[in-house]
Amino acid sequence: MSEGNAAPKETPGMRISDKVMIEMKGVNKWFGDFHVLKDIDLTVKEGERIVIAGPSGSGKSTLIRCINRLEPHDEGSIVIDGIELTEDLKRIDEVRREVGMVFQQFNLFPHMTVLENCTLAPLWVRKMPEAEARDLAMSYLERVRIPEQANKYPGQLSGGQQQRVAIARALCMNPRIMLFDEPTSALDPEMIKEVLDVMVELAREGMTMLCVTHEMGFAREVANRVVFMDGGEIIEEAPPEAFFSAPKNSRTKEFLAQILAH
């Protein structure tokens, strides 16, 4: 384990293996003339929990959206669990089956019930029998503590409930990696905790997670590495203790001073 002083919060499920799940090498990306990602190198091992922080517009979201190719990268290589991401649609679909994603705006399908949202991909992508998909969905809805909402429509739920459904929906594909793109930024303050609790639990069970967030408490509690980005570059990478107490780069210091000030 990389950080010795983090031992007390570690649980057996949080062990990190040597297996490399995500390997990004020399990744560059442009939006038109705008250079969003600059020479990104990032390696994530199975069971690691990475929090990506940084000012807005720093390329955090774009970085994790490249991992399931919602954004194609222009240069460099991205290998997910042994599969290199290229133009090849078959490989992209293979990667997407193994990588779950949770969005800032939840992006639940409003015309389907909560249960239908969760069973959609198992039924059509995994070709699972209907009863099995339903049982699987119900078990994940129980884990995010909203089984009683299964037959409601997303529009009838609160933001926090919707985001928990979105997490359950992603988990129903039994992904090996979970990506979180600012999962609590669109929530009212009193709902942030219920979503973070679910994410902490998921981390304890050993899920490989990449999380773009401004929740520094969450980063302290579950991350084993914090990645700080600014201007499309990875500026600093450190275990949370080191990151928060002894940031090396001046831009990191400035950022931390701003977000921890209040």
Partner 1 sequence: MAMEDVTGRPPPKSQMRASPVVWARRNLFSSVGNTVLTLACLYLLWLAVPPVLDFTIFSAVWSGTTRDACLGPDKGACWPFIRANIGQFVYGRYPADEIWRVNVVFGLGAVALVPALIPSAPAKRFNLIFLLVIYPLIALVLLAGDRPGLRPVPTSEWGGLLVTLVVALTGIVVSLPLGIVLALGRRSSMPAIRMLSVIFIEFWRGVPLITVLFMASVMLPLFLPEGMSPDNLLRCLVGVALFSSAYMAEVVRGGLQAIPAGQYEAARALGLSYWRTMGLVVLPQALRHVIPGIVNTFIGLFKDTTLVLIVGIFDLLGQVRAQLSDPSWTVPQGALTAYIFAALVYWVFCFGMSQYSNFMERRLNTARER
Q: Is 120 in the site for partner 1 (CB under 8 A)?
A: yes
Among 2, 17, 156, 249, binds partner 1 (CB under 8 A): 156
What is the CB-side half-sphere exposure of residue 44 using CA atoms within 13 A? 30
Residue whose CB is less far from partner 1, 134 or 251: 134
Please, what is the minimum distance in Å from the beta carbon of residue 125 to partner 1?
Answer: 4
Task: Annotate each residue in 173-192 with x if it binds partner 1 (CB under 8 A) or - if it does not, as one string.
Answer: x-------------------
Q: Is 213 helix (H, G, I), strand (E, B) or coil?
A: coil
Helix axes 159-171, 130-143, angle to 10 degrees: 130
| Binding segment (CB under 8 A) for partner 1, from list 77-85, 92-100, 190-198, 207-215 | 92-100
Q: Is 200 in the site for partner 1 (CB under 8 A)?
A: no
Question: Total residues contacting partner 1 (rule CB under 8 A)?
Answer: 29
Kindly compute the dihedral angle of the four CA atoms of residues 92, 75, 67, 103, in this order, to the nearest 10 degrees: -110
Q: In terms of Cα–Cα distance, which of 20, 13, 2, 7 is closest to 200?
A: 13
Please, what is the minimum distance in Å from the beta carbon of residue 221 to partner 1?
Answer: 26
What is the CB-side half-sphere exposure of residue 218 using CA atoms within 13 A? 28
Residue whose CB is less far from partner 1, 78 or 121: 121
Backbone CA torsion sign across 202, 208, 213, 216: positive
**Distance, CA of 180 to CA of 103 (rounded, Å):** 6
Q: Is 96 in the site for partner 1 (CB under 8 A)?
A: yes
DSSP state of 246: S
The answer to whether 171 touches 92, Cβ cutoff 8 Å, is no
Task: Annotate each residue in 72-91 with x if it binds partner 1 (CB under 8 A) or - if it does not, as one string.
Answer: --------------------
| Binding segment (CB under 8 A) for partner 1, from list 34-42, 166-174, 201-209, 225-233 | 166-174
Binding site for partner 1 (CB under 8 A): 68, 70, 93, 96-97, 99-101, 103, 105, 107-111, 120-121, 124-125, 153-158, 166, 169-170, 173
